[in-house]
Amino acid sequence: MLNGLMMDYPLTLDHIVEHANRMSPNKKVKTMLPDGSMHDYTYADFYKRVKKLSNVLESLGVEVGDRVGTFAWNNYQHLEFYFGIPGAGAVCHTLNLRLPHDQLTYIINHAKDKVIFVDGTLLPLIEPIADQLESVQHFVVFNVPEGKEVNLPNVSQYEDLMAEASEDYTWRCTDENMAMGLCYTSGTTGMPKGALYSHRSMFLHTFGVLMNAALGVIEADVVLPVVPQFHAMAWGLPYACTFIGATIVMPGPHLKPEPLAKMIGEERVTIAAGVPTIWNGLYHELKNNPRDISCITQLVVGGSAMPRGLIEAYEKELGVNVVHAWGMTELSPLGSTSKLQSHHQDLGESEKLDIKAKQGYFIPGVDARIVDLVGEELPWDGETMGELQVRGPWIAGSYYKVEKRPEHFTDDGWFRTGDVVTIDESGFMTITDRTKDLVKSGGEWISSVDLENALMSHPKIREAAVIAVPNEQWSERPLAVVVPVDGEVPEDDLNDYLLEQFPKFWLPDEYVVIPEIPKTSVGKLDKKVLRAMHSEGNLS
């Protein structure tokens, strides 16, 4: 073998922030603060604060490889954590603020987070579990509302620590294989599992996002990531925008349609990214209060399927181009996009919309195949359904501190997505079902199994099954099918009971009482049958 003679340049994230400081020092990062006012500063200011933050972490005793949690909305501070934590050689563990308390406690203890940065607007969500967080040595808070008392142990104010820190810092991320980020997924069974990203994988994913075949962010773009930084790394946009020097507009806690419409209009946003529920809400807002949002060149949507009708409404009524994308936490998360290709040029409008409603082609860097139940590869004919398996440089090779299992990874090196799909001759993928039974509501998972277990522990319930039913606003909502022990059960009782364990958005929209729940041959709840009953109108 003859080795190439090119430089051994480690693909580490410090290069991204150094590049932004050199190439785009005057470009802006803007944030809508909790009070609705706009904060902005330049990438040059940002760069200095990232270095200060890395110093702060060292002064708190954070060592290379330590996990540091972030519990925050999308804002400039969270962008600083995205770079300052990996820059100090530590791992940025984004905590999903919508997780129920037991799962949040579990992931913090499982990751052994040493320090957690907490957005002051979210204190009530983390204070009640603080005494159960075994590994946490420091909490650092910011954006604390005036007059709000902070009930956390060993707590410091972010700005106090930053005021004392030096702007000189020697990056500690020296090896591209070092871990830089950790994000837990919600599984069908058991507790969430962690995808542990490396500098190399995130660096390459950033190139992936920047490709025109993917999102194609350019310097002139003004990008609004509505997709949370605490879920699937805001689809990699924070890194892509910083690298290319695009203007970033962070919405902070303002995810309602009205402030989003205002931000898009006033900041002249060109790329906005979020789940279908967000864009459904925005569409209805704009119907009631029209505003020109045709500044958007790409409305990126993923996380669950974007209804074709909504794509059409955006394109025809609002003049906005929709880019449907598919990804997973385990893919950093981008896997496919559905932009039209040269061979679609002569298609009619309706056929073009059909293509845009697909989950799309795999972006360069992502290999894909579909297989049947015994692992045999299936044809790409647009009709044959199979389990989607993927591999590539930004795809998880195993889960953090979980033994590698055949239900997640194949022996020949592929990741099993759990999505059931068809792929057509030109490589366009359509998701037809999931092997999982999770309910996807507004871009967040609801575990049907957890709800069933809780319902079945209610003294008046004999059996319960929860299925996802389509919902225009939230994509899907849970419907509970219950068999009472004796007679009727008041819905309010069940809701109060579930609220002791789950957030409000987990409550089933409907309870349907039936005499017996259908079972499979091995005695499991047969949700396929329930789904069919629902779609035929026999469950109500």
Task: For residue 262, count other CB atoms closer than 10 A to its CB.
Answer: 16
Reply yes or no on whether 330 is catalytic: yes
Which 3 state secondary structure label does DSSP give 519?
Answer: strand
Which of 445, 474, 476, 506 is catalytic? The answer is 445
What is the per-residue binding string for ligand AMP in 339-368, x denoting contact by CB under 6 A? Answer: --------------------x---------
Which of 48, 52, 356, 440 is catalytic? The answer is 440
Residues 274-303 contacting ligand AMP, CB under 6 A: 302-303
* Residue 256 phi, psi dihedral angles, 5° rounding: -75, 155
What is the per-residue binding string for ligand AMP in 142-181, x denoting contact by CB under 6 A? Answer: ----------------------------------------
Tokens describing residue 86: 């990996």
Under rule CB under 6 A, residue 270 binds ligand AMP? no
Residue whose C-alpha is closest to residue 113's, from 98, 126, 100: 126
CA distance 516 to 143: 51
3-state per-residue secondary structure call for 203-270: HHHHHHHHCCCCCCCCCCCEEEECCCCCCHHHHHHHHHHHHHCCEEEECECCCCHHHHHHHHHHHCCC
Residue 116 near residue 136 (C-beta atoms within 8 A) = yes
CB 408, min distance to ligand AMP, A: 12
Residue 525 CB-density burial (10 A; 0-12 exposed, 13-18 middle, 19+ buried)? buried
Q: Which of 139, 279, 326, 506 binds ligand AMP (CB under 6 A)?
A: 326
Tokens describing residue 222: 């003004």
CA distance 475 to 442: 6
Q: Which of 20, 263, 300, 328 binds ligand AMP (CB under 6 A)?
A: 328
CA distance 394 to 366: 8
Of 321-329, 362-370, 395-403, 527-535, which segment contacts ligand AMP by CB under 6 A? 321-329
Of 87-95, 142-150, 326-334, 529-537, which segment contacts ligand AMP by CB under 6 A? 326-334
CB 370, min distance to ligand AMP, A: 14
Q: CB-based contacts of 538: which residues, under 8 Å, 6+ apart?
A: none
Under rule CB under 6 A, residue 329 binds ligand AMP? yes
Reply yes or no on whether 206 is catalytic: no
Under rule CB under 6 A, residue 52 binds ligand AMP? no
DSSP state of 486: S
* Nearer Cβ to ligand AMP (266/433): 433
What is the per-residue binding string for ligand AMP in 186-225, x denoting contact by CB under 6 A? Answer: ----------------------------------------
CB 183, min distance to ligand AMP, A: 8
Reply yes or no on whether 185 is catalytic: yes
Of 10-18, 151-159, 350-358, 415-423, which segment contacts ligand AMP by CB under 6 A? 415-423
Residue whose C-alpha is closest to residue 279's, from 329, 324, 239: 324
Secondary element (H or E) of residue 277:
helix 276-288
- Give me the residue label for tokens 């009524």: 317
Of 30-38, 123-131, 322-330, 504-512, which segment contacts ligand AMP by CB under 6 A? 322-330
Reply yes or no on whether 440 is catalytic: yes
Q: Which of 11, 20, 271, 431 binds ligand AMP (CB under 6 A)?
A: 431
Task: For residue 364, count other CB atoms closer than 10 A to its CB.
Answer: 12
- Catalytic residue IDs: 185, 330, 440, 445
Q: Would you tell me which residues interact with ligand AMP (CB under 6 A)?
A: 185, 232, 302-305, 324, 326-329, 333, 359, 417-419, 431, 434
